[in-house]
C-alpha cells in the first residue's frame, strides 16, 4: 500500500541563488506530513497453510485461505508458531444471530 507524504522545508531561497552543500544546511529539518490513513483499506497477504512463511516474527498477521479446518481465517505469528483467529459470522447491521452464553 503506497502512502503519499508531503515533505516541506522551513526555508525558501530567493530566485537566482546557487544551491551548494554549504548553504543546504540553512534548509533545516524538514516537516513531514503524513495523510490520514483511517480511510485506507488494509489488504492482508494471503497464504494457504502449506505456503505460510516460517514463524518467528511476532505480530505478523496474514489471511490464511484454509487454516480453519479448510475454511479461511486470520493467522497471527506469535514468534514461534502461526495461531489461528477464527472468522465469525458475516457482518450485519442487525443483531439477527443468536449467541450462546456460558452460565
Pairing of strands 82-86, 71-77: antiparallel
Residue 30, pLDDT > 80, answer no
At residue 67, does pLDDT exceed 70? yes
Q: 44 pLDDT exceeds 60?
A: yes
In this prediction, residue 41 has a pLDDT band, given cuts at 50, 70 and 90, of confident
Domain ranges in the chain are 46-86
Amino acid at each position: 500500500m503506497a502512502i503519499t507524504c508531503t515533505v516541506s522545508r522551513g526555508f525558501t531561497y530567493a530566485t537566482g541563488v546557487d544551491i551548494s552543500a554549504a548553504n543546504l544546511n540553512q534548509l533545516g529539518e524538514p516537516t513531514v506530513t503524513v495523510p490520514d490513513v483511517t480511510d485506507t483499506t488494509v489488504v492482508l497477504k494471503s497464504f494457504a497453510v502449506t505456503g505460510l512463511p516460517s514463524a518467528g516474527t511476532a505480530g505478523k498477521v496474514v489471511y490464511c485461505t484454509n487454516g480453519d479446518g479448510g475454511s479461511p481465517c486470520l493467522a497471527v505469528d506469535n514468534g514461534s508458531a502461526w495461531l489461528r483467529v477464527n472468522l465469525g459470522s458475516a457482518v450485519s447491521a442487525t443483531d439477527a444471530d443468536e449467541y450462546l452464553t456460558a452460565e
